Amino acid sequence: MTKNKDLTEQLKGKYDKRNAIISIYAGAGGIDAQDWAEMLLQMYIKYIQKKEWKYKVIQIKPGKEAGLKNVTLIIEKPYSYGFLKNESGVHRLVRLSPFSANNLRHTSFALVEILPEFDDLKEVDIKPDDLRIEAYRASGPGGQYVNKTDSAVRITHLPTGLVAACQSERLQGGNKKRAMKLLYSKLYQYRLKDRKEEIGELRGQPTAVEWGSQIRSYVLHPYQMVKDHRTGIKSGNPKGVLDGKLDKFITAEIK
């Protein structure tokens, strides 16, 4: 607790006190990349559970054969955005592919995006006519992350094309409320990017989910190593890192 408190005192960003929204997108690498996106989801869930923080997966799109195309979860804990914001960027995995008949080495990429949660944005005027709100049947795997539901809601902000969706609540009204919160966060990111011509503090890294853009590499073959390319922090225990032992990486990023 003391260690977390010491770190919290260093979180001085404007929105560091807010809840965090984590989105993970499979990038280059086909089925392996989708599997990698699910591995990253499990890594962050295990980290969150170790911290005893509350979280909820609010939207998920599974891959056709394995893994996830994308997923979004919200962490309901003050300062979780400040703790995790530097995890934003491309994460690279090198391993022997379980999907290759010849067990070949494969490199996969996934994009992690961390945003602060907003109930509303005073700086952004959202007009009802600018929104397209659709109900749909969620296609998630059910049980493990979120249940399938007929009350899922997708909101499109027509002027920007930004889309936010939620399928975690039983009632359509609850899904709409959470989707709107996600949309506000995306609009904040969009506004910041438009103003500064870069994501800056929110995303911090290039968004091309491919070779050369990674912030961290997780190598399982031919050697065992996780390396953060910004801080230089390394771990020879990638299994432990993937089991949620992220503290030394996150501490280095904050400091």
- 60-102 pLDDT, tens digit each: 999 989 999 999 999 999 999 999 999 999 999 999 999 988 8
Region at 144 (left for phi over 0; alpha for psi -120 to 50; beta for the rest): alpha
Q: How many helices (H) and strands (E) does the chain have?
A: 6, 11
pLDDT of 150? 77
- 102-119 pLDDT, tens digit each: 888 999 999 999 999 987
Percent of the chain with pLDDT strictly greater than 70:
86
Give the chain's domains with CATH numbers.
2-9+16-121+197-254 (3.30.70.1660), 130-196 (3.30.160.20)
pLDDT of 204? 42
At residue 1, does pLDDT exceed 70? no
Q: Please choose, from the candidates 165, 178, 174, the residue with its C-alpha nearest in 3D space to the C-alpha of residue 138.
A: 165
Once rounded to an integer, what is the mean pLDDT over residues 176-201? Answer: 76
At residue 175, does pLDDT exceed 50? yes
Give the whole-angstrom CA distance, residue 177 versus residue 153.
9
Instruction: Reduce the DSSP state of residue 95 to 3 states and report it.
Output: strand
Tokens at 87, concatenated: 């995890």
**Lowest-confidence range among 33-37, 129-133, 187-191?**
187-191
